[in-house]
């Protein structure tokens, strides 16, 4: 009987050890070989915290005062748009090509949802501007508002996500004049159902993507013009509460 108990304890300990090794190996692989793993562990890598939630690569050669100025102006633009901000994205500034490759992007936002959205914005010197940073911060704010208390799931179409973010992106290639030229004054517009998902939205050439940004920005701008920022915030709150985005959006 005693030997049988010892064998069971040994077997249980052995199973626990195997599970621990598997979890450890998976964790190491995630941190070392995925872009999200790199972004999430930036505070423990070769980065310096310039200010709260802002990390700059130790080998960054840019002007840090300029970085702070751009971030401040971007934050003001985003805050003015929403009325207030609820998000606290991690902003990663880097101009090392090798590190950027590991981070998986040089001007984009990655959000992981675990009962809320944790957003990581990676920006290189090439794209360090108020328009780009404000665009990415708006993604983070949108994700915070719709994913609070949620598990990973798709709640809004990609065209809407990008359309909202583009409201704080004043680059001329996306503006109303660009919309008129790209859509023949609204006569040639892609069906939004064709760009619901990320693979659909980001596929094709650079000009294909610019066209989709133009259309999405204009669509959301027109919707906000009819419903106001308060209407947008109400829509996001209802989506967060479980209401269907398509039904809410089409009613307005």
**What phi and psi values does residue 50 have, to the nearest 5 degrees?**
-70, -40
List, for the chain, all residue ranges whose pLDDT scores fall below the cut of 70: 1-33, 251-252
Q: Which of 100, 120, 153 is the last residue of a domain?
A: 153
For residues 163 and 149, state if they share a domain. no
pLDDT in the model for residue 4: 56
pLDDT at 37 (0 to 100): 85
- Verify that 198 and 127 share a domain, yes or no: no
Q: What is the pLDDT of residues 213-227, one digit of tens each?
A: 999 999 999 999 999
- Pairing relation of β-strands 90-93 and 107-113? unpaired
Task: Return mean pLDDT, the chain.
Answer: 89
Are residues 135 and 165 in contact, defined by beta-carbon separation less than 8 angstroms?
Answer: yes
Are residues 125 and 223 located together in one domain of the fold?
no
Give, as one character, the DSSP assignment of residue 156: S
- What is the residue range of 207's domain? 156-252
Q: Are 220 and 160 in contact (CB under 8 A)?
A: yes
Q: Please tell me the total count of domains within the chain.
A: 3
CA–CA gap between residue 101 and residue 250 (Å, rounded): 39
Q: What's the pLDDT score for residue 192? A: 95
Q: 138 with 213, same domain?
A: no
> In this structure, are 89 and 189 located in the same domain?
no
Domain boundary residue, one of 110, 126, 153:
153
Residues 179 and 198 in one domain: yes
Same domain assignment for residues 148 and 170: no
Specify whether 102 is located in the same domain as 211.
no
DSSP notation for 33-49:
H-HHHHHHTGGGSSEEE
Reading the block at residue 160, the tokens are 């809407």
Say what the pLDDT of residue 27 is. Answer: 41
Task: Kindly give, in sequence order, each residue whose CB lies less than 8 Å from that of residue 183, ignoring residues fewer than 6 positions away.
Answer: 189, 214, 215, 218
Q: Whole-prediction pTM value?
A: 0.88
Q: Which residue, chain included where needed, has tokens 């704010």? A: 141
Q: Which of 153, 187, 216 is the last residue of a domain?
A: 153
Copy the structure tokens of residue 182: 């790209």
Residue 105, CA distances (Å) to 38, 45, 101 in order: 11, 17, 6
Tell me: do 252 and 209 sit in the same domain: yes
Pair (85, 55) in one structural domain:
yes
Indicate whether 48 and 132 sit together in one domain.
Answer: yes
Same domain, 69 and 137: yes
Which residue stretches of the chain are H helix?
2-33, 35-40, 64-82, 97-103, 130-147, 158-165, 176-183, 198-201, 206-240, 245-251
Phi, psi (deg, nearest 5) at residue 18 = -65, -45
């Amino acid at each position: 009987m005693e030997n049988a108990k010892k064998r069971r304890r040994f077997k249980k300990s052995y199973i626990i050890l195997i599970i621990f090794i598997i979890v450890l190996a998976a964790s190491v692989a995630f941190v070392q070989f995925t872009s999200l793993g790199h972004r999430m562990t930036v505070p423990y890598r070769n980065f310096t915290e310039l200010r709260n939630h802002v990390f700059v690569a130790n080998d960054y050669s840019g002007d840090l005062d300029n970085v702070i100025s751009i971030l401040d102006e971007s934050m003001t633009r985003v805050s003015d748009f929403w009325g207030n901000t609820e998000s606290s994205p991690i902003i990663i500034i880097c101009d090392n090509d090798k590190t950027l490759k590991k981070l998986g992007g040089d001007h984009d936002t990655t959000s992981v949802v675990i009962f809320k959205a944790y957003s990581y914005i990676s920006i290189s010197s090439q794209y360090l501007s108020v328009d780009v940073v404000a665009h990415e911060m708006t993604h983070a704010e949108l994700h915070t508002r719709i994913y609070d208390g949620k598990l990973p799931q798709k709640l809004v179409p990609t065209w809407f996500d990008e359309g909202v973010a583009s409201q704080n992106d004043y680059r001329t290639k996306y503006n109303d004049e660009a919309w008129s030229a790209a859509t023949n004054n609204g006569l040639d517009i892609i069906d939004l159902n064709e760009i619901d998902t990320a693979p659909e939205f980001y596929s094709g050439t650079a000009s294909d993507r610019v066209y989709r940004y133009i259309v999405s920005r204009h669509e959301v701008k027109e919707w906000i013009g009819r419903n106001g920022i308060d209407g947008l915030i109400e829509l996001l709150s209802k989506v967060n509460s479980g209401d269907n985005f398509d039904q809410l959006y089409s009613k307005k």
